[in-house]
Amino acid sequence: MTALSIALLIPWAAGVALLAVDGRRAWVPWISVGALAATLITLGAVAAQVLASGPVTMTTGNWPVGVGITLRADALGVTFALLSVAMLTAAVVHEAFDGVAEREFPALVLLLAAGLEGAFLTGDIFNFYVFFELALAASYVLALHGPGPRVLGAGLVFTAVNVVGTFVFLLSVAGVYRVTATLDMARIGERMAVADPNAAILIAVGFFVAFSVKLGLFPFHFWLPTVYTAARPAVAAILSGSVANIGAYGLLRFGAGLLPRELELAAGALIVLGGASILYGGVLAISRRSAGEMLAYSAIGQVGYVLVAIGIGGPVGFAAAIAYAIVNAANKTMLFLTTSQRGVVVGGLFALGALSIAGIPPAAGFVGKLEVFRAVVGDPVVAGVLLLGSLLSLVYAFEVYQVEHWRPAADATAVRVSWRAWVVPVALGGVILALGVWPEPLLALSDAAARVLPGANP
Amino acid sequence: MSPVIGVVAPRILAPAVMLAAGLIVKGYSDTGEGFSAGVIVALAIGLRYITLGRRRADRTLAVARHANVVAAAGLLIALGFGFQGVLSGAPPFTHLPPPGSPVIGIGTLELTTAVGFDVGLFLLVAGSLTVLIRYLTELLPDPADDPGDER
């Protein structure tokens, strides 16, 4: 219980304290890394406790349930919290090696970590909204920072779209409170089951739109390529590897956790949208020639797999969605961190990432894809779409590989990069390989995480 | 500028701080807390920046130049009081002294962790709004350079 509060307090307090110092000094990002590592260790302790003996719940100030704010760590929340903080740590270590460009970067990443963790580890939907906003506020500043009007324009798009998405989310939260008279997730689940179906569907659509915007699902993807291509590699890695996890988590928690009836009703629509996302992202990514642009469109396609798996539902579908989200976050973080580099090592990493996106062993992407295919095995049409999507990703990933890593670089300065620039991507590549070769921990974790959702235990 | 505003603006800050202090003190048995207290003080500061212009307001209110530090300190104070229970293994936002036990009071001010949290919140809100005010008033022309102003 104490570990849960400490895991929240560390990044929050360290983030505020670091705001006071200039993050471009060499030692500052390492403090940020230290705080994130401490958070990871504490979260690991919470996760061990949760996986061994069930959810850890804590009500602030020991108030009666329903009055105090509930912090609740279950397997699903802890999995996503660990994933997001780990990807943030990777991005900060990379930036620390590379030299931090922005004054506030180390502090903002910590505040982002606090917000994400709080959102994943709360049992109260309004509290979720508050932490969601904290994380988004930090990511707005991250996205807005950078040289030139292009970054500012992209940051403005990101901010505007997310403010609208959050507003829709808040409307749905208000709707939930109106219908169930509670904000506590456990009680909402019970009371939503007997609520007016029309109101429940309206609320469910609001949540779906809010989280789809966050994930960049087709047809809510319009902002994503602009933002991901304009941002610096570390920021793009943070946005796609950590912040976007809120979308997948939200669809699982709010869809499968709180509104399982409505999720089942909309299953067909989710699968169609997911399929559209896969094909749209794949086709547009083929027409791109730079790694950054390709990855941005690929991100739209990859989240389609998560949505299809959620649409299929059941223990297998949800576990597949979680496993895919984890693998996808690792892929995207590694590939975005290497977008501006060239060389033998980076070329190898890119090839590994490309194999992972396409779902070819020994990369971890194979495990993710395999799980999703396992979920859709009864449906040849959906399986066909997924297969087509995988083929498209194989084509676009290796097309970019050919253009960027086979041909001699036009810009000779980009060829030589120091070992510092690729140490983090190499570590992430190692993780991706390890998860591909030995997937049991990943699968066990995603199974445990899926089991907390009522939709997975019909 | 209307003479009323010219006279009121530089003098409103002290009463606003008093009002804010009152709000924080009485917030536990009555309406009011750190957030509204912070907004009230920030409004008074805002009025001063709009009427005097950023340059002169900065000169007369040195602490406003460090509003970002005030806001960060406030957040740290609030976090400290909010999470103090964690030290003894209790959940965050545990009330000290515990409900039912005697409270040290100075007049109507009762020394509890909730008051400490609200003081932090007050500094955070007042500080961050002042940061915003200073950014925005930078865009305004300085009234001191305006020949029509004879204060």
Does the pLDDT value for residue B29 go beyond 80? no
A121 versus B107: which is more confidently predicted? A121
Q: Tokens standing for A456? A: 């997975």
In the predicted model, is pLDDT for residue A129 greater than 50?
yes
DSSP states of A78-118: HHHHHHHHHHHHHHHHHHHHH---STTHHHHHHHHHHHHHH
Q: What is the pLDDT of residue B4?
A: 86
**What integer pLDDT is reported at residue A25 of this predicted model?**
83
Query: What is residue A21's predicted lDDT score, i.e. its pLDDT?
Result: 82
Which residue among A1, A13, A17 sits closest to B91, beta carbon to beta carbon? A1
Rounded to a whole number of angstroms, the distance from the CA of A105 to the nearest CA of chain B is: 16
pLDDT value at A247 more than 50: yes
pLDDT reported for residue A146: 76
When pLDDT is cut at 50, 70 and 90, the band that residue A63 belongs to is confident
Of B76, B92, B95, the CB nearest to A5: B92
**Cβ partners under 8 Å of residue B145, min gap 6:** none
Instruction: Pick the range with the lowest mean pLDDT from B8-12, B25-29, B39-43, B78-82.
Output: B25-29
pLDDT in tens, B15-24: 999 999 888 8
- Please name the member of B76, B86, B92 whose beta carbon is closest to the beta carbon of A16: B76
Question: Quick one: pLDDT at residue A344?
Answer: 80
- Which of these, A69, A265, A299, lies nearest to A182 by C-alpha position? A69
Length of chain B: 151
Q: How close are the terminal C-alpha atoms of chain B, in Å?
A: 10
Mean pLDDT of A241-265: 90
Task: Read off the pLDDT of each residue in A27-39 and give the average, rounded to a whole number.
Answer: 93
Mean pLDDT computed over A329-344: 87
| Mean pLDDT, residues A197-203 | 90
pLDDT recorded at residue B150: 45
Q: Provide the percentage of residues in chain A whose pLDDT is more than 70.
A: 97
Cβ neighbours for A31, distance < 8 A, ≥ 6 positions apart: A14, A18, A106
**Does A130 score more than 70 pLDDT?**
yes
pLDDT at B131 exceeding the cut of 50: yes
Report chain A residues whose CB lies below 8 A from the CB of B93. Answer: 60-61, 68-69
pLDDT at B57: 87
Token pair belonging to A255:
């869809």
Do the Cβ atoms of A16 and B79 come within 8 Å? yes
Distance in angstroms (rounded) separating the CA atoms of residues A202 and A176: 10
- Bridge partner list, A70: A59
pLDDT at residue A39 tops 60: yes
* Confidence at A77, pLDDT banded by 50, 70, 90: very high
- Chain A residues touching B79 at Cβ < 8 A: 9, 12-13, 16
Evaluated on CA atoms A283, A318, A176, A215, the torsion sign reads negative
Looking at the complex, report in whole angstroms how far the Cα of residue B52 sits from the nearest Cα belonging to chain A. Answer: 28
Average pLDDT for B35-43: 93
Nearest neighbour of B76 by CB, restricted to A13, A59, A69: A13
Q: Is the pLDDT of residue B28 over 70?
A: no
How confident is the model at residue B149, as a pLDDT?
47
* Interchain CB contact of A6 with B (< 8 Å): yes
Q: Do A61 and B93 touch (CB under 8 A)?
A: yes
Residues of B in CB contact (< 8 Å) with A are 68-69, 72, 75-76, 79, 83, 85-86, 89-95
- The arithmetic mean of pLDDT across residues B29-46, rounded, is 86
Average pLDDT over residues A194-223: 89
pLDDT at A412 over 90: no
Give me the residues of A, 20-79, that contact B with CB < 8 A.
Answer: 20, 58-62, 68-69, 71
Q: Do A6 and B90 touch (CB under 8 A)?
A: no
Query: What tokens were used for A167?
Result: 């507003």
Residue A310 pLDDT: 92
DSSP string, A331-366: HHHHHHHTTT--SHHHHHHHHHHHHHHHT-TTSHHH
Q: What is the mean pLDDT of chain B?
A: 84
CA dist A294 and A302 (Å) reads: 12
* pLDDT over 90 percentage in chain B: 28
Could you report the predicted ipTM of this complex, rounded to two decimals? Answer: 0.80
The mean pLDDT of chain A is: 88
- Greater confidence (A344 vs A118) lies with A118
Average pLDDT of the residues in A1-22: 87
Express as a percent the part of chain A with pLDDT over 90: 49
Report CA-CA distances (Å) from A238 to A85, A138, A427: 10, 11, 16
For residue A254, which amino acid is it?
F
Closest residue to A2, CB basis, from B69, B76, B86: B86
Angle at A216 between CA A211 and CA A220, to 5 degrees: 85
Q: Regarding predicted confidence, which is higher, B31 or A175?
A: A175
Can you give the pLDDT at residue B145?
52
By three-state DSSP, how is residue A122 classified?
strand
- pLDDT over threshold 90, residue A14: yes
Locate A321 and state its tokens: 């969605």
Q: Which two tokens stand for residue A364?
A: 């971890």
pLDDT at A226 over 80: yes
Average pLDDT, stretch A218-223?
86
**Do the Cβ atoms of A60 and B91 come within 8 Å?**
yes
Task: Tell which wins on pLDDT, B94 or A211.
Answer: A211
Predicted local distance difference test score (pLDDT) of residue A458: 54
What is the pLDDT at residue A186?
Answer: 84
- Predicted confidence at residue A271, as pLDDT, reads 93
User: A–B: how many Cβ contacts below 8 A?
Assistant: 47
In this prediction, residues A415-423 reach a mean pLDDT of: 73
Residues 6+ away with beta carbon under 8 Å from A306: A215, A248, A251, A274, A321, A324, A325, A328
Provide the pLDDT for residue B151.
45
